[in-house]
Chain A
Amino acid sequence: MIEFNLTKTQEKKFALMQRMNFERLSLDPSFALGVIEFPESSILLQKISDIANSKNNSEVQGRERLFEYLLNFSINQDEAYFLILPGLLPQNGFTYTKYPAIKVDAKKIHPLLNLVRGKIAEPDYFSLVSEKLEHGIVLDVYAGNPELHGTDKEILQIATW
């Protein structure tokens, strides 16, 4: 069990910030089966991150194909999925509080992704993971490290399982 050791005030602050980030995306609420609130959202993100880090990741330069990877990910139409969206506000000193998390019916994932695609010009993170975390895809964008990537330009990391 992950514990964050936060005060009630800090928890409220992070929950508020994450809610604001979701609201700024101005998505039709009917797309989501539910919004995962902080701190549950960060616990979920940490679990997803741990799984992704344990898998063989690949890295490509540039984020242009991010939505292509996401839309090509094979979805089981009978399941619900967790979708972690990129945030619009800067993060605020805590793991992944920038990223809103929602639960989505499989049939609504592609229409929702196409809607988000029109709203976010430069996404820096996405993950789409089945409800039981049995399969998923994580896409993470960051500046390259010249010693590791031979460039400091943006790198897209792709983890699938």
Chain B
Amino acid sequence: MRRAGIATSSMPFAQRTPPKTTSGFEQYLYKTTGEGGRERTMVVSHHEPDSDHACAHWHAAEAKTIDSNGLPSTFSNGAWKYQANGSVVEHK
């Protein structure tokens, strides 16, 4: 979280478990202030182990785009899209 510029004390303003995803997949949205005081929407996602990560893990990255409802655009399974190259933290 801190690596992605999200204060650990901050609270998510939205969260979801997309219905078409497997158990253990959760997503949270946070607002942060970026360069020049610009507001950024960060997506924090929890994933179970996959081909890229041996353990369950968290991803934190900026939302890919924001739709007119104020929420990030989504994949076909309902998961929020986020930018590549975000921070990843694995956990047991």
| Chain A residues proximal to chain B, CB less than 8 Å | 4, 17, 63, 89-96, 98, 122, 124, 140-148, 150-155
Q: Evaluate contact between B47 and A91: CB separation under 8 angstroms.
A: no
How far apart are the CA atoms of A17 and B38 in the complex, in Å? 10
Q: Evaluate contact between A93 and B66: CB separation under 8 angstroms.
A: yes
B68 in the interface (beta carbon within 8 A):
yes
> Which residues of B13-36 are within 8 A (CB) of A?
21-22, 25, 34-36
Q: Which residues of B contact A152 (CB under 8 A)?
A: 47, 50, 52-53, 59, 88
- Determine the residue in chain A with the shortest Cβ distance to B63: A91
Contact of B47 among A93, A146, A153 (CB under 8 A): A146
Contact of B22 among A63, A90, A147, A151 (CB under 8 A): A147
Contact of A147 among B35, B41, B77, B81 (CB under 8 A): B77
Q: Evaluate contact between A153 and B40: CB separation under 8 angstroms.
A: no
Q: Knowing A91-B65, A96-B65, A148-B75, say if A143 contacts B52 (CB, 8 Å).
A: no
Q: Which residues of A contact B21 (CB under 8 A)?
A: 147
> What is the size category of the interface that chain B forms with chain A?
35 or more
| Chain B residues proximal to chain A, CB less than 8 Å | 21-22, 25, 34-36, 38-41, 47, 50-53, 59, 61-68, 70, 75-77, 79, 81-86, 88
**Count of A-B residue pairs with CB < 8 Å:** 85
What DSSP secondary structure best describes chain B's contact surface?
loop
State how many angstroms separate the Cβ of A61 from the closest Cβ of chain B: 10
Q: Which residues of B contact A4 (CB under 8 A)?
A: 68
Q: Evaluate contact between A151 and B52: CB separation under 8 angstroms.
A: yes
Q: Evaluate contact between A95 and B41: CB separation under 8 angstroms.
A: no
**23 pairs across A/B with beta carbons < 8 Å?**
A89-B36, A90-B35, A90-B38, A94-B68, A95-B66, A96-B65, A122-B85, A124-B64, A142-B81, A143-B64, A143-B83, A143-B86, A146-B47, A146-B50, A146-B52, A148-B76, A150-B50, A152-B47, A152-B59, A153-B52, A154-B84, A154-B85, A155-B84
How far apart are the CA atoms of A90 and B67 in the complex, in Å? 15
- Determine the residue in chain B with the shortest Cβ distance to A13: B38
